């Protein structure tokens, strides 16, 4: 194994998560994600904020942003571990991403007081969002 890869894997092991190139295979909680709750989080402009950047099969959302890719069909093109990793900390896939890391606290030095030392979504909320995204396998409604 090349030394850079070995160092990267050691750092990941130290960080206590099973993150890797294949994403996060292990669910964050013992309770399976609830897609209906996930749908609420994704489409709630006060909570998930996802639609600030993402369009998708969300007819109930009047205005959706275009900074991120359309989430239509994302459940078909990304695996579950991959989706989980993207929500937990999108910086693993793209260090320069503009997508917020929803279940990480490292590096967020000047977030508002409300968010200091806490995560944007709880572990269960991440599982709910992932379960919902996995259902988005079809074309736009």
Q: Is 23 in the site for ligand HEC (CB under 6 A)?
A: no
Of the candidates 26, 30, 23, 11, which has an alpha carbon nearest to the alpha carbon of residue 89? Answer: 23
**CA distances to 24, 39, 41, 106 from 44, in Å:** 25, 8, 5, 25
Q: Could you tell me the two tokens for 25?
A: 């295979």
CA distance 54 to 125: 18
Q: By C-beta, is 53 or 104 nearer to ligand HEC?
A: 53
Q: By C-beta, is 36 or 52 nearer to ligand HEC?
A: 52
3-class SS at 2? coil
> Given candidates 5, 8, 36, 52, which one binds ligand HEC under the rule CB under 6 A?
52
Q: Is 104 in the site for ligand HEC (CB under 6 A)?
A: no
Q: By C-beta, is 15 or 79 nearer to ligand HEC?
A: 79
Residues that bind ligand HEC (CB under 6 A): 42, 48-50, 52-54, 67-69, 71, 74, 78, 83, 86-87, 90, 94, 97-100, 102, 129, 133
């Amino acid at each position: 194994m090349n030394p850079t890869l070995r160092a990267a894997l050691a750092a990941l092991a130290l960080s206590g998560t099973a993150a890797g190139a294949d994403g996060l295979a292990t669910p964050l909680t013992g309770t399976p994600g609830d897609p209906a709750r996930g749908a609420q989080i994704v489409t709630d402009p006060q909570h998930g904020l996802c639609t600030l950047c993402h369009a998708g099969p969300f007819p109930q959302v009047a205005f959706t942003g275009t900074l991120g890719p359309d989430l239509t069909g994302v459940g078909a093109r990304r695996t579950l571990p991959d989706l989980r990793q993207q929500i937990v900390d999108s910086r693993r896939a793209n260090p320069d991403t503009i997508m917020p890391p929803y279940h990480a606290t490292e590096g967020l030095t000047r977030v508002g007081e409300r968010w200091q030392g806490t995560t944007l979504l709880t572990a269960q909320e991440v599982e709910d969002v992932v379960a919902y995204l996995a259902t988005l396998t079809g074309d736009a409604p």
